[in-house]
């Protein structure tokens, strides 16, 4: 018995539709205003949620003014991953509110549990902060599809003394950003 081409392709087409639907549901905005997109230091700007000044471009997320179509899937670090390695940061932005600075970083990665944010390393050298995002695998025995996911996270630099500071990625295409704490 010979199976028609349409009968052989139908299951593959259904699988493709299911995978595409699952991928489109990954883009969620983080609580509290979204994850920022990159840009030149000093580009963009404006008011940030809570009254602080936004350095970088406007946040990515539903309803954000001027936001690009892409939405980052918000993640938090979960230590203890295997084979931890640095990932390239795609964009950085920061919200300055008094002496407190909240940083948003985005990067392209794979799906969990194969690609999990393990930790964020911040090294301060004078007025410059270098940020490294470290990912690893949560379960080495899991089979994962190879799909790119835009991920985002936020972290604080702690209270800073007045002055002008720079945040730069350890690796990736994100432009360094400069901000002033008054």
CA distance 9 to 7: 6
pLDDT tens, position by position, 130-153: 999 999 998 878 898 999 999 999
pTM of the model: 0.65
The secondary element (H helix, E strand) that includes residue 117 is: strand 116-125
- In total, how many domains does the chain have? 1
The answer to whether 67 touches 59, Cβ cutoff 8 Å, is yes
Edge-to-edge strand ranges of the sheet holding 91-97: 53-55, 91-97, 100-109, 149-159, 73-74
pLDDT the model gives residue 61: 43
Sequence-distant (6+) residues with CB within 8 A of 116 are 75, 78, 81, 135, 136, 137, 138
Answer with the residue of higher pLDDT: 44 or 129: 129
**Residue carrying the six token digits 């902060």:** 129
Answer with the residue of higher pLDDT: 93 or 21: 93
Answer with the residue of higher pLDDT: 8 or 173: 173
pLDDT the model gives residue 140: 78
Domain that holds residue 95: 5-181
pLDDT tens, position by position, 19-35: 344 433 333 333 333 33
């Amino acid at each position: 018995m010979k199976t028609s081409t349409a009968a052989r392709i139908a299951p593959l087409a259904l699988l493709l539709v299911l995978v595409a639907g699952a991928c489109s549901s990954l883009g969620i905005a983080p609580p509290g205003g979204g994850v920022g997109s990159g840009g030149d230091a000093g580009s963009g700007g404006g008011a940030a949620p809570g009254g602080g000044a936004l350095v970088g471009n406007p946040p990515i997320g539903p309803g954000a003014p001027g936001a690009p179509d892409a939405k980052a899937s918000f993640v938090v670090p979960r230590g203890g991953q295997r084979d931890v390695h640095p990932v390239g940061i795609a964009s950085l932005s920061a919200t300055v509110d008094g002496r407190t600075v909240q940083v948003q970083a985005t990067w392209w990665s794979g799906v969990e549990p194969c690609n999990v944010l393990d930790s964020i390393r911040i090294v301060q050298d004078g007025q410059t902060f270098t940020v490294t995002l470290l990912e690893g695998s949560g379960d080495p025995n899991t089979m994962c599809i190879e799909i790119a996911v835009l991920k985002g996270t936020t972290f604080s630099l702690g209270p800073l003394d007045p002055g002008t500071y720079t945040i730069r990625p350890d690796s990736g295409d994100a432009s360094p950003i400069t901000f002033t704490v008054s």
